[in-house]
Amino acid sequence: MSYETQPTASHYVNGAYLEDSAGAAIPVIYPATGAEIARVHAATPAVVEAALSAAVEAQTLWAEMTGRARGRVLTDAARIMRERNRALSELETWDTGKPLQETLVADATSAADALEYFGGLAASLTGEHIQLGEDWVYTRREPLGVCVGIGAWNYPTQISCWKGAPALACGNAMVFKPSETTPLCALKVAEILTEAGAPAGVFNVVQGMGEVGSLLVTDPRVAKVSLTGSVPTGRKVYAAAAAEMKHVTMELGGKSPLVVFDDADLENAVSGAINGNFYSSGQVCSNGTRVFVQRGIKEAFLARLAERVKSAVIGDPMDEATNFGPMVSQRQMEIVQRYIEKGIAEGARLVAGGKRLEREGFYLEPTVFADVTDGMTIAMEEIFGPVMAVLDFETEDEVIARANDTAFGLSAGVFTRDLSRGHRVIGKLRAGSCFINSYNDAPVEAPFGGVKASGVGRENSKAAIEHYSQLKSVYVRMGDVEAPY
């Protein structure tokens, strides 16, 4: 890593890098080689305290600034991120192993979109006036206070900004804890926010594992917790936040259905299934990993899919020709390998991939199983890797019932040329982020989030404002006050 790219210490607190080597060492492993490329230290209680007290102090001043002034800081940060897109994308690739071909267009750029969007909204966050005869009520949209963001490892730059940008636009301060697997990128986001004029303490980053997250979540000074992670972690964090009646946003896992009717455009449906299963080596929460294909198109779909998957360019993520990289860690690779073994053992038909690549790093082949049935483990559990399960179906009613028969509800997609059917089916699928004749688009303008076990609240769009602010209503009496005695 070049000097310019690499963060210079483990934490970013009160507007500057901060080190405390008393915290447990966390090695940063480059997934393409398995080599240690950096080392950070978990936050000690002293670092957590410094971050929280800096955030408390900064938040009051930040909230007193006009929305326009706050917005300018965010949009300036977006501009700096775009100018440094290449260096930030390389850092994202070092941190996650995702190919540069992806990180150049999906990470710092998506983070910049969020900073720009919420920077633009900051000046227009208003309350309302409600006339009641002579009296009236007005509402003030107020910040929540100090918010904690906790990130997963698949999109470290994007996640820090999907949480940080709306939080800051509304006048909150944030303490963000990245996943221990990908600790580097959020530090650069903090550095850029400072450079763009964010007052010290408004956005802090502390490293650590679950214990550090847990210290942050339970601190009485914290008003809100936004987590991106798995359902089991979500349950723990939600419960801890509920004990103190804190606000939450939970962006959790999924096992989303992608339904391909036999009138679909075959090439587009295959593209949707590839994007919805193999982008970022399948490490995307909203992936459509249960691909329901109607019997009439099934064999054509599988043949074309197997052919196209063969042409994936798997290799060095820093080579811009590579479009399929390693898994984020050895641990995640082994989890996915166990699912592949289960798929074979339970009788699914392997039509592509299935193996680890014979090279250094944590590479698995893009893998497709056909003849998957609803009760198989690979059709029920979130794998979070490049494993697509193709299931057959006959009728619309049948596929809707089967697609909904899951505890999750993050995303759903439908491919069909019959647009009334597309809207009808999407209307009946219980999921938060849906697609018709597409898959996995996540523009900042659209609400993003799940139903059922997949989460609570929405990120992005105007909807996120509701989750990072609260309304105060003020009744104003114009005449005398009547009282019974």
Q: Among residues 5, 85, 230, 437, which is the contact residue for ligand NDP, using CB under 6 A?
A: 230
Query: By CB under 6 A, which span of 94-102, 135-143, 245-253, 290-298 interacts with ligand NDP?
Result: 245-253
CA–CA gap between residue 342 and residue 473 (Å, rounded) = 56
CA–CA gap between residue 199 and residue 207 (Å, rounded) = 21
464, two tokens: 């996120």
Q: Among residues 251, 316, 365, 396, which is the contact residue for ligand NDP, using CB under 6 A?
A: 251
CA–CA gap between residue 263 and residue 416 (Å, rounded) = 6
User: Residue 357 CB: number of other CB atoms within 10 A?
Assistant: 14
- For helices 156-169 and 85-96, the axis angle rounded to 10 degrees is 120
CA pseudo-torsion sign 181, 186, 191, 194 = negative
228 interacts with ligand NDP by CB under 6 A: yes
214 interacts with ligand NDP by CB under 6 A: yes
Closest to ligand NDP by CB, 67 vs 282, is 282
> Which class for 265: exposed (0-12), middle (13-18), buried (19 or more C-beta within 10 A)?
middle
For residue 279, give the DSSP letter: G
Closest to ligand NDP by CB, 214 vs 437, is 214
Q: Among residues 29, 88, 114, 237, which is the contact residue for ligand NDP, using CB under 6 A?
A: 237
Closest to ligand NDP by CB, 119 vs 282, is 282
Query: By CB under 6 A, which span of 246-254, 260-268, 300-308, 334-342 interacts with ligand NDP?
Result: 246-254
Q: Among residues 382, 413, 435, 464, which is the contact residue for ligand NDP, using CB under 6 A?
A: 382
Q: Among residues 143, 149, 253, 422, which is the contact residue for ligand NDP, using CB under 6 A?
A: 253
Q: Among residues 78, 91, 122, 152, which is the contact residue for ligand NDP, using CB under 6 A?
A: 152
Binding mask 122-151 for ligand NDP (x = CB under 6 A): ----------------------------xx
- For residue 152, CA distances in Å to 24, 59, 155, 179, 299 come to 20, 25, 7, 5, 36
95 interacts with ligand NDP by CB under 6 A: no
Query: By CB under 6 A, which span of 11-19, 222-230, 264-272, 477-485 interacts with ligand NDP?
Result: 222-230
Q: What angle do CA 366, 370, 371 make, to 5 degrees?
A: 160
From the CB of 227, what's the least distance to ligand NDP, in Å? 6
From the CB of 191, what's the least distance to ligand NDP, in Å? 20
**Neighbour-count burial for 402-421, b at 16+ CB within 10 Å, e otherwise:** bbeebebbbbbbbbbeeeeb
Q: Long-range contacts: 265-269, Cβ < 8 Å, 24+? A: 265/415, 265/417, 265/437, 266/297, 266/300, 266/301, 266/304, 267/304, 268/415, 268/437, 269/297, 269/301, 269/415
User: What amino acid positions are annotated as catalytic residues?
Assistant: 251
Binding mask 413-452 for ligand NDP (x = CB under 6 A): -------------------------------------x--
CA–CA gap between residue 426 and residue 288 (Å, rounded) = 14
In the region spanning residues 383 to 402, those forming contacts with ligand NDP, defined by CB under 6 A, are: 384
Query: By CB under 6 A, which span of 107-115, 152-160, 255-263, 421-429 interacts with ligand NDP?
Result: 152-160
Nearest to 224 by CA among 186, 173, 187, 155: 173
* Under 8 Å between Cβ of 386 and 336: yes
Closest to ligand NDP by CB, 315 vs 449, is 449
364 interacts with ligand NDP by CB under 6 A: no
- Contacting positions for ligand NDP (CB under 6 A): 150-154, 177, 179-180, 209-210, 213-214, 217, 227-230, 233, 236-237, 251-254, 285, 382, 384, 410, 450, 455
